[in-house]
Structure 1
Amino acid sequence: MARPDGPSTAPTRRHYLMCRPTYFTVEYAINPWMDPDVVVDRPRAIRQWEELRDLYLSLGHRVSEIAPIEGLPDMVFAANGALVVDGRVYGARFASAERTPEGPAYLDWFRQEGYTETSEAKYVNEGEGDFITLDEVVLAATGFRTEAAAHQEAERLLGRPVVTLQLVDPRFYHLDTALFALSGDRIAYYPGAFSKGSRRVLEALFPDALIATEEDARVLGLNAVSDGHDVVVAAEATRLADRLRTLGFTVHPVELDELRKAGGGAKCCTLELRDHPLA
């Protein structure tokens, strides 16, 4: 999978699903980022979310929205709601009771929108939070949320080979907090989030990967979204942004610090709807 430096593809129009943070708050703690004693500025969170959505639209992407549900403050993190590959939808089954109702809510949206191949998960998985889809493989993480058995279930349902990775740092409780796809065959990641064996797997599969620092990882810089040319990344991840620019990517810094109080960034807010087979 080695490729020369620079963007490997032209920007491609994407279809994203997002959920407005109408009811966003931090009223429980299910990851190290969350502290119920921290005050959340909900209007500011909404403004930041709107700026992210509007940025996607300005880049030519399509954005659909699912209606938020009162009592589900983390529903804004749409990436966790499902995994969609070639129009097939693998539903989420959340690890925490607080988020459990989100799984059926997202599946209901897909069915109402006309998706005919939807599957309720038998095993705990948190959608694109722990699954990163590339051209040839799906990278999948376990360790804190998603069960390894869900990787096998996804592979059977989606018809894509799945590579299992082990997360070891609780700050990076989902794969999308430690790794993102630069293109269909190239990634960026923070090695410290992974077990020794998983680092070897990543090194072997992606020898040209962009290696991020802990400094960028701890501001959720790896919770980024790329269309192969344009990369949406946390404004605080300045070193990562500089590296991306050096490689020829166009970087779009976004401020999402209000949503980061719950452990989420740009990718957490963004579920990619791969309605058609990938090239």
Structure 2
Amino acid sequence: MVSVNQERTPRKRTYLLCPPEHFAVEYAINPWMDTDEPVDVELAVKQWESLRETLSRLGHTVHVLPPRAGLPDMVFAANGAFVVDGTAYGARFKHEQRAAEAAGHRDFYESSGWRFVAPSEVNEGEGDFAYLPRAYGGLILAGYGFRTEPAAHAEAQEMLNHPVVSLRLVDPRFYHLDTALAVLDDERVTYFPGAFSAAAQKVLAQLFPDAVLADEVDAFAFGLNLVSDGRHVVLNAEASGMAAKVAAAGYVPVPVDLSELKKGGGSVKCCVAELRH
């Protein structure tokens, strides 16, 4: 059990974000999207700017991916690739509405000098992959059930040279792993058990006996769609219960309001891809 007084150590991170200049809800590919609900693009951009400024203020490097017209979900930059040890394993989106986003991400990684691996299997980047560098020698957690195909887990394992643990998601409201599980530091996670199959719950309990367990209220507030540097936990401002839980575990919650982007089915983590050298 973690002592509340334990000092958590932040580690400088490098992130990739994409501004929501073309954000809209023009189609519904997850249960959170409602095409009848209006979107305030100006507010979405303002909230995104606050997120970017927050990450920069915490000492992290933030790169900006140019948005492309006609791709309203490109703001959810986490879905474009999964980067470990300098290698970017590219995305291959399940839904045709998002397929063209992959090329924009590939252009960024290749022009920036990263080793880019084009995928053969359907996967949605960090939406369904999480990495813990100090857990079991470097462990990848991978979700499936709604977007990423299980075959992509094996492909990622081969491309990134780290073991992959597959976890089945069973609730369509938690269609990506990053809506149901988050990495708090290099070896600890937080997750909502109800989003996973019974078998996946057992695996998570065995691997992470000291995990911070979230409840349904936390999960519905997108409280698990967070970004942590090992000390500061940047999370959706609506998720006050989740903020209290991470604070009790010794972390420092940093709330940001992303209520407008939530209309697209994402929050903090969906907007942030981590670039791991």
Question: Per-residue displacement from partner, 1:1-56 (whole Å, max 9, x unpaired)?
Answer: xx644568510100000000000000000000001111000100000000000000
Q: Is 2:219 aligned against 1:217?
A: yes
Partner secondary structure for residue 74 of structure 1: coil
Letter in 2 for 1:123: E
Letter in 2 for 1:78: A
Q: Is 2:62 aligned against 1:60?
A: no
Q: In the aligned structure 1, how far is the partner of 2:179 from the partner of 2:234?
A: 14
Partner secondary structure for residue 154 of structure 1: helix
Per the alignment, residue 31 of structure 1 pairs with 30
Per the alignment, residue 146 of structure 2 pairs with 144
2:122 pairs, out of 100, 108, 124, with 124
CA shift in 2, pair 1:51/1:159, >3 Å: same
CA deviation after TM superposition for structure 1 residue 248, in Å: 1.7
Work out whether residues 93 and 123 of structure 1, in 8 Å CA contact, stay in contact via their aligned partners in 2: yes
- Note the aligned Cα RMSD (angstroms): 1.0
Shift >6 Å, 4+ stretches? none
Per the alignment, residue 162 of structure 1 pairs with 164
Q: In the aligned structure 2, how far is the partner of 1:246 from the partner of 1:109?
A: 38
Per the alignment, residue 259 of structure 1 pairs with 261
Aligned pair count reads: 272
* Unaligned segments of structure 1, at least 5 residues: none
Work out whether residues 30 and 265 of structure 2, in 8 Å CA contact, stay in contact via their aligned partners in 1: yes
Identity %: 52
Work out whether residues 7 and 250 of structure 2, in 8 Å CA contact, stay in contact via their aligned partners in 1: no
Partner secondary structure for residue 230 of structure 2: coil
Question: What's the TM-score, normalizing by structure 1?
Answer: 0.96
- What is the 5 A alignment of 1:220-239? 220-239=222-241
Question: What's the TM-score, normalizing by structure 2?
Answer: 0.96
Question: Per-residue displacement from partner, 1:138-192 (whole Å, max 9, x unpaired)?
Answer: 0000000000000000000000110000000000000000000011110000000
Q: In the aligned structure 2, how far is the partner of 1:251 from the partner of 1:119?
A: 35
Q: In the aligned structure 1, how far is the partner of 2:35 from the partner of 2:211?
A: 36
Work out whether residues 174 and 180 of structure 2, in 8 Å CA contact, stay in contact via their aligned partners in 1: yes
Work out whether residues 8 and 183 of structure 1, in 8 Å CA contact, stay in contact via their aligned partners in 2: no
CA shift in 2, pair 1:8/1:138, >3 Å: farther
Letter in 1 for 2:111: Q
Partner secondary structure for residue 271 of structure 2: coil
Question: Per-residue displacement from partner, 1:202-253 (whole Å, max 9, x unpaired)?
Answer: 0000001000010010011100000000000111111111111122211101
Work out whether residues 31 and 171 of structure 1, in 8 Å CA contact, stay in contact via their aligned partners in 2: yes
